[in-house]
């Protein structure tokens, strides 16, 4: 049954259809004001689900899509899904509000921007609120496509096109791996339902396909969430407009991979491989992103690598939380803090990183540059932006009294606690986890200080700025001010999120432990003089020293590998594929139709004859053959004769007449075989074809004169005889061999019963082969759009007019 919940998920798609109409017919009003209504209404609607998902509650709404294949659109709202739905719509509303002032309605194609944005919002909602893996994967790929369109929004810029293509290719490769992993899981558990798969987790764990499925799914998640070494697409994606960066790369798209890891943690956490891969790659990404952010000179570049770093941090906490699901541990609850920290930091990251991206956009918008080498001294000129930068950056650095301090403390606590874990081969190597986490946090502190002080303090270099700096209008400041206000509120009152958001999300990730009752999460600033507090003090002290002497040690980056190594690998990979493709294509794409027919017919003959004789299907049973009537014999002679005339005639008129006789004879065969609909179709087509040939007769090329000089090719004779012989043998064997029951019996028995049609052929085309027919219509629709586009281009002399 289609419900309001399903409507809420597809609402952004419906809005995407309406956006071009609003843009065209109401041009005086910024399109963003109309679009803003959608995320606000959806955010308000999803807030009503908070009581339903409290504790271990959930809401399930099913809409049957392809019930025969077990593929239904099951909207599933639990704590984890609701958390992401609120982030998607809440941050989405603020991004739309920000974009209204950021994008000039007279200079930008707002219809494209908001259409792509709504497509992405709908895809993210569908992804996070789907119970079916196939539906989830469908929305997963829509996020890749819509993000590609958003990143390449300024498509006239080469860097925008390059960044969009890179993100698309990397995430598509991961998406294909994800699909294979889903298929492997379903082949073992017999279902695509996430809830059903979790119920059959023991069955999957005992299967040899467990590890391949896990690795493929992690590959998909790592590429989407920009984990090392797949992180290279995220910095290049910063060429997108700042509202896109604030939405996709701080709160939504990159979090899709995090969501998938969290959702499937109950399924794979029993494996040591899951623990080490998720935790290890998370920490590696954390420290690599932190080190890389320091060397950047572009504000959005710093924020891009900080996003990479923070995503690695969240992932590592989810990996550490897998220890809580190992039932042999002494105290499972000791490790639930890692999952609580991951969820809390997920929320915190969306608030402070969204505000920082918007702040960077304001700096760019009001000064004309994001290069920190040209910035400085903006504190007095842009005091509100400075305040936003201080709150957002200090929260990301893990300083009190902001929310980032609390989740950073919980992060340190989880890394320290995991060293006491006795499973998964944890030994002395486990001591590296808190060390790496602490070291990465020091460099996180450094790039946060760079972000604030290199931009807003020091000497104003107005001569290096393309525009005179000034504070942004209030409308552009409103969205980031709301976000930094949440940073402060969640810092002082973090436990307001615990019962409503954090614990229900934890129950989704750790359902077995949730059955024992509340997780007892209690977040507070002062928790005695503990290891994690001393770690934070050490981060601040060492981070401050490193920041102050940055100029003296930053030369080490000259020998430190950067993203150029990975980008060169990516570029060379694409160049290698291009060269290989060109070589292969130039070998067999000769431009001669004769060569193409040789390839096609040779392959067809070999494949069919091998299948015919390899399976023992060749047999001739004359007992089941129907006697040939005189009418059929005469028509067969006419058919053969007209074909021979068509092949050897040198007259264009005789060729047209022979072709018509050939077609009409086939129509008569359909009449004899009692297929009037096929006969009518054949007669119509032949009449139209012959008429068109005769109308164009005068303009026919003189190809028949050229045939007189054509040389005889033995290969042509061999292939044509082989094709004719193959078809004849298959036709004779079809009536004398039954390798399996005829499928025609199924159609005859079920055409009326299942589809309500007496005409079996029509029922097959419309119902049983409905997808084929649908795709054929889709192809015709695409071709029609192509023709329409060519007409609209009005090409003249090879140039657009």
State the maximum Cα–Cα separation within the chain, in Å, rounded to a whole number.
Answer: 105
CB-based contact 410:344 (threshold 8 Å)? yes
Instruction: Give the position of tokens 């994967």.
Output: 137
Domain ranges of the chain: 4-568, 592-740, 746-801
Q: How does residue 795 score in pLDDT terms, banded at 50, 70 and 90?
A: low
- How far is it, in rounded angstroms, from Cα 608 to Cα 546? 72
CB-based contact 106:154 (threshold 8 Å)? no
Give the mean model confidence (pLDDT) for residues 316-341: 73
When comparing pLDDT for 435 and 551, which is higher? 435
Give the mean model confidence (pLDDT) for residues 765-778: 84
CB-based contact 280:222 (threshold 8 Å)? no
Q: Is the per-residue pLDDT at 753 higher than 70?
A: yes
Q: Is the per-residue pLDDT at 93 higher than 90?
A: yes
Q: How does residue 674 score in pLDDT terms, banded at 50, 70 and 90?
A: confident
User: What is the four-CA torsion angle of 698, 701, 702, 707, rounded to 10 degrees?
Assistant: -140
CB-based contact 439:291 (threshold 8 Å)? no
CB-based contact 303:473 (threshold 8 Å)? no
Q: How does residue 558 score in pLDDT terms, banded at 50, 70 and 90?
A: low
Roughly what angle, to the nearest 10 degrees, separates helices 652-672 and 676-695?
170
pTM: 0.81
Q: How far apart are the first and last CA of the chain?
A: 51
Closest to 349 in 3D by CA, of 147, 91, 534 = 91
Give the mean model confidence (pLDDT) for residues 129-145: 93
pLDDT, tens digit, for every residue of 587-644?
878 888 888 888 899 999 999 888 888 877 777 777 767 788 888 889 889 988 988 8
Q: What is the pLDDT of residue 314?
A: 95
Share of the chain above pLDDT 70, in %: 92
Q: Is the per-residue pLDDT at 330 higher than 50?
A: no
* Per-range mean pLDDT, top range of 393-397, 467-471, 573-577: 393-397
pLDDT, tens digit, for every residue of 63-84?
887 777 666 789 999 999 999 9
Q: What is the pLDDT of residue 706?
A: 57
Give the mean model confidence (pLDDT) for residues 320-327: 72
State both tokens at 300.
Answer: 């959005």
Q: Is the per-residue pLDDT at 20 higher than 50?
A: yes
* Per-range mean pLDDT, top range of 345-349, 373-377, 572-576: 345-349
Average pLDDT, the chain: 87
Q: What is the DSSP letter of 799?
A: B
- How far is it, in rounded angstroms, from Cα 292 to Cα 298? 12
CA 652 and chain centroid, separation = 54
């Amino acid at each position: 049954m289609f419900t309001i919940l399903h409507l809420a998920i597809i609402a952004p798609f419906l809005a995407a259809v309406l956006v071009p109409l609003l843009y065209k017919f109401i041009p005086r009003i910024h399109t963003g004001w109309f679009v803003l209504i959608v995320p606000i209404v959806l955010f308000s609607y999803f807030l009503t689900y908070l009581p339903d998902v409290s504790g271990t509650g959930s809401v399930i709404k099913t809409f049957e899509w392809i019930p025969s294949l077990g593929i239904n659109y099951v909207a599933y709202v639990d704590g984890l899904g609701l958390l992401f739905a609120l982030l998607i719509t809440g941050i989405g509303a603020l991004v739309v509000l920000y974009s209204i002032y950021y994008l000039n309605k007279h200079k930008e194609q707002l219809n494209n921007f908001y259409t792509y944005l709504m497509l992405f919002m709908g895809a993210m909602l569908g992804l996070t609120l789907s119970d079916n893996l196939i539906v989830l994967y469908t929305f997963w790929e829509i996020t890749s496509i819509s993000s590609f369109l958003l990143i390449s929004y300024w498509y006239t810029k080469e860097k925008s096109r390059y960044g969009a293509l890179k993100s698309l290719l990397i995430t598509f490769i991961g998406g294909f791996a994800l699909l294979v992993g889903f298929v492997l899981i379903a082949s073992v558990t017999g279902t695509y339902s996430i809830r059903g798969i979790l119920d059959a987790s023991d069955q999957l764990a005992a299967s040899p396909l467990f590890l391949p499925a896990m690795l493929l799914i992690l590959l998909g998640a790592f590429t989407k969430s920009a984990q090392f070494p797949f992180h290279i697409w995220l910095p290049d994606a910063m060429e997108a407009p700042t509202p896109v960066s604030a939405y996709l790369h701080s709160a939504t798209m990159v979090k899709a991979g995090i969501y998938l890891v969290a959702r499937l943690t109950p399924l794979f956490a029993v494996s040591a491989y899951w623990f080490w891969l998720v935790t290890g790659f998370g920490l590696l990404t954390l420290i690599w992103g932190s080190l890389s952010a320091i060397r950047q000179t572009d504000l959005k570049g710093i924020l891009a690598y900080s996003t990479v770093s923070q995503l690695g941090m969240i992932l590592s906490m989810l990996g550490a939380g897998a220890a809580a699901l190992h039932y042999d541990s002494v105290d499972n609850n000791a490790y639930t803090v890692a999952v609580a920290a991951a969820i809390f930091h997920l929320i915190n990251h969306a608030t402070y990183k969204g505000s920082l991206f918007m702040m960077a956009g304001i700096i760019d918008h009001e000064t004309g540059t994001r290069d920190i080498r040209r910035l400085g001294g903006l504190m007095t000129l842009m005091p509100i932006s400075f305040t936003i930068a201080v709150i957002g950056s200090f929260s990301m650095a893990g300083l009190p009294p902001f929310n980032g301090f609390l989740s950073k403390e919980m992060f340190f606590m989880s890394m320290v606690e995991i060293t006491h874990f006795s499973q998964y081969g944890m030994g002395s190597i486990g001591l590296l986890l808190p060390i790496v986490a602490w070291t990465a946090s020091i460099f996180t502190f450094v790039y946060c200080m760079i972000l604030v002080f290199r931009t807003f303090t020091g000497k104003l270099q107005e001569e290096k700025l393309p525009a005179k700096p000034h504070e942004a209008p209030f409308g552009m400041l409103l969205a980031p001010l709301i976000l930094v206000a949440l940073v402060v509120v969640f810092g002082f009152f973090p436990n307001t999120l615990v019962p409503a958001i954090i614990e229900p999300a934890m129950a989704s990730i750790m359902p077995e432990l949730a059955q024992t009752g509340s997780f007892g999460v209690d977040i507070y600033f002062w928790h005695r003089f503990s290891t994690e507090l001393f770690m934070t003090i050490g981060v601040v002290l060492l981070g401050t020293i490193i920041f102050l002497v940055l100029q003296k040690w930053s030369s080490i980056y000259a020998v430190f590998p950067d993203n150029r190594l990975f980008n060169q690998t990516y570029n060379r990979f694409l160049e290698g594929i291009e060269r290989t493709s060109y070589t292969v294509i130039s070998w067999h794409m000769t431009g001669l139709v004769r060569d193409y027919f040789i390839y096609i017919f040779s392959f067809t003959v070999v494949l069919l004859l091998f299948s015919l004789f390899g399976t023992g299907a060749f047999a001739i049973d004359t007992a089941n053959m129907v006697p040939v009537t005189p009418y059929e014999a005469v028509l067969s002679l006419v058919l053969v004769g007209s074909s021979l005339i068509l092949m050897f005639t040198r007259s264009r008129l005789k060729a047209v007449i022979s072709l018509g006789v050939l077609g009409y004879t086939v129509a008569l065969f359909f009449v004899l075989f009692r297929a009037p609909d096929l006969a009518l179709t054949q007669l119509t087509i032949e009449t139209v074809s012959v008429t068109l040939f005769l109308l164009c007769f005068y303009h026919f090329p003189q190809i028949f004169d050229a045939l007189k000089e054509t040389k005889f090719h033995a290969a042509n004779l061999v292939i044509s005889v082989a094709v004719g012989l193959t078809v004849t043998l298959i036709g004779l064997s079809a009536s004398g061999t039954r390798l399996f029951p005829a499928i025609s019996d199924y159609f005859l028995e079920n055409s009326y019963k299942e589809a309500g049609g007496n005409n079996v052929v029509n029922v097959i085309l419309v119902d049983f082969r409905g997808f084929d027919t649908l795709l054929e219509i889709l192809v015709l629709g695409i071709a029609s759009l192509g023709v329409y586009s060519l007409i609209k281009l009005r090409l003249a002399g090879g140039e657009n007019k």
